[in-house]
């Protein structure tokens, strides 16, 4: 037993001499250099002698149990820095919508006509239906943007009790806006002309008052729809003349024109009109 023990010590010493001897000593090698050399020699020797069980155990003892933990060699894992093969993925925070332009703005949306007064009718489309369809889409966009929207009507009906005079009908629309101290008033209409070739979109503003709202809506509506730009004009319409806040009356297109009548009847074009008017309103508040 003692003989075997001494034999193991002798073999271990010979092995260490065989490993350390090739290390150059003519230069003052640093500890790091010595450790690296030991590691290299050990790996080569280990590969060449994998068939010898005793030497394999000695290698395991010296380098894995003693030198390895001391000099931190043969360590395939490192805890000092994250692996470059598995970078940390950081999920970006979604951008916050800080656009509060319309938040708490009181906006009256007035779909023209309705009920027993369908407005202009031509080419299988009624003005009142077009006006309401676009107005409801506009309402949804405004509400989503934080505005407080008041509709003069939400269905195919008159605003004043059925059978009331036209002046009463118009007055009730104005009263709704003035009594609620609305920030703006938007009246939505479809146009008509005896000349079926005339087409295009236009907006009106109160005579003697600012045209800023009408201009903003007209510009955005034309950009969105690609319609012919018939510009903005002053007018003395009852709902413009008697509302106390900035107001505009939008003529989206001519039902008397076959091409525009088909567009006004189209849900996709109505979406474009609503988006254009909405964008114009946002632009107006951003600049006024």
Q: Which residues are catalytic?
A: 251
The DSSP 8-state label assigned to residue 26 in this structure reads S
Q: CB-based contacts of 238: which residues, under 8 Å, 6+ apart?
A: 167, 170, 171, 174
Sign of the dihedral through C-alpha 95, 100, 106, 111 = negative
Asked if residues 241 and 181 have their Cβ atoms less than 8 Å apart, the reply is no
Task: Decide: residue 101, CB within 10 A, 0-12 exposed, 13-18 middle, 19+ buried.
Answer: middle
Distant-in-sequence, close-in-space partners of 193: CB < 8 Å, separation ≥ 6:
254, 256, 257
What are the beta bridge partners of residue 139? none
d(CA 31, CA 37): 10
Burial class (CB in 10 A: 0-12, 13-18, 19+), 265: middle
């Amino acid at each position: 037993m003692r003989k075997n023990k001494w034999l193991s010590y002798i073999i271990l010493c010979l092995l260490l001499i065989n490993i350390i001897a090739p290390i150059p000593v003519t230069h003052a090698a640093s500890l790091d250099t010595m450790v690296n050399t030991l590691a290299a020699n050990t790996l080569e020797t280990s590969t060449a002698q994998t068939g010898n069980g005793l030497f394999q155990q000695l290698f395991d003892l010296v380098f894995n149990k003693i030198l390895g933990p001391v000099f931190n060699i043969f360590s395939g894992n490192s805890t000092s820095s994250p692996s470059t093969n598995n970078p940390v993925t950081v999920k970006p925070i979604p951008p916050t919508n800080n656009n509060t332009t319309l938040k708490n703005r009181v906006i009256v949306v007035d779909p023209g006509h309705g009920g027993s007064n369908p407005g202009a009718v031509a080419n299988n489309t009624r003005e009142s239906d077009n006006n309401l369809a676009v107005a409801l889409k506009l309402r949804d966009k405004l509400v989503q943007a934080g505005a407080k929207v008041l509709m003069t009507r939400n269905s195919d009906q008159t605003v004043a009790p059925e059978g009331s005079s036209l002046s009463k009908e118009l007055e009730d629309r104005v009263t709704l806006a003035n009594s609620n101290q609305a920030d703006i008033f938007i009246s939505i209409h479809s146009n008509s002309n005896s000349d079926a070739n005339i087409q295009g979109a236009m907006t009106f503003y109160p005579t003697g008052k600012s045209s800023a709202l009408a201009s903003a809506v007209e510009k955005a509506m034309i950009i969105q729809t690609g319609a012919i730009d018939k510009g903005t004009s002053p007018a003395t319409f009852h709902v413009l003349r008697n509302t106390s806040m900035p107001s505009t009356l939008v003529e989206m297109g001519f039902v008397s024109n076959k091409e525009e009548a088909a567009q006004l009847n189209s849900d996709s074009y109505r979406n474009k009109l609503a988006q254009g008017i909405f964008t114009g309103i946002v632009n107006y508040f951003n600049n006024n």
